[in-house]
Structure 1
Amino acid sequence: MAYDDGNVFARILRGEIPCARVYEDADTIAFMDAGQVNPGHVIVATTHPCATILDLTDDQAAALFRTAARVARAVEAAFAPAGITILQANRPAGWQTVPHVHLHVLPRHADDGVGLTWPRKEPGLPALHELAARIRVE
């Protein structure tokens, strides 16, 4: 997925679109999601022009998650939700709707209507070992 500098988050970063800012530093920005799923729903985005998590350096990824953790603690203090979901999606097939890497910090409550389901497959340990062998983290 190529980076599109006309995306809504890039426009927010350039000051072309207003936002309700929660936090900002050299690497990240956090602002209220305009489509609040629950009160306190915050977007945490990189200030760097990266489309997906695959485009981030390790330092940028660390900064993004560090800010998400700080924001989650602030959401916890402000709203006392029953839980918090941190969601990060990449590419349209992965549910990404804005081509600028970001995380959702979503306060959760019982029966809030938010759903995330996937069909569990349990291939067994030998197959898991085969799958793991295909992944090399360097």
Structure 2
Amino acid sequence: MAPTDSECIFCKIVAGEIPCAKVYETESCLAFLDIAPVSGGHALVLPKGHYPTLMDIPAELGGELLQALSRVGKAVMEATGADGLNLMQNNFEAAGQLVHHAHYHLIPRFADDGLRLWPQSPYEDPDEMGRLAVKIADLAK
């Protein structure tokens, strides 16, 4: 049985205690429209079990989540006539996570919609990238 958190708004939505505009559901996943969308059709896809971050989601849910993201993403694009689609997932408050139940945002995008991605720049120290790559690779084993 998947874990739940009685205080979590998404767990309450999964349990049917709070209504949502459901767009897709499987045994382990739920997708519904965001109540404060970036643009119309902005959907949330989440595991029904309560897993606070991406790092807490069991690997065995990965395939079902990916299938849900793909199916809902295609449907969002077709329904809205979007030119593109952003897939976003925030972990921890410092990264913008507001609900501590892992979830993915599917945001329909349109040419010249005014939304911008965050700024990027190259590493200031040319060796920093290599050092970080080694450290991350070691920790990911």
User: Structure 1 residue 93: deviation in Å?
Assistant: 0.2
**Counterpart contact for 1:5–1:11, Cα < 8 Å:** yes
Distance 2:118 2:101 in 1: 24
In structure 1, what is the equivalent of residue 85 of structure 2? 84
1:37 lines up with 2:38 in the alignment: yes
User: Structure 1 residue 122: deviation in Å?
Assistant: 2.2
User: Structure 1 residue 124: deviation in Å?
Assistant: 5.8
Q: What secondary structure does 1:104 align onto?
A: strand
Where structure 2 has 5 or more consecutive residues not aligned to the other structure, the ranges are none
Q: What secondary structure does 2:63 align onto?
A: helix
Where structure 1 has 5 or more consecutive residues not aligned to the other structure, the ranges are none
User: Structure 1 residue 14: deviation in Å?
Assistant: 1.0
Matches within 5 A, 1:48-127: 48-123=49-124, 126-127=127-128
CA RMSD of aligned residues (A): 1.9
Opposite residue 7 of structure 2, the aligned amino acid is G
TM-score scaled by length of structure 2: 0.86
TM-score scaled by length of structure 1: 0.87
Opposite residue 83 of structure 1, the aligned amino acid is G
Q: Which has the higher contact order (CA 8 A, sep 6+)?
A: 1
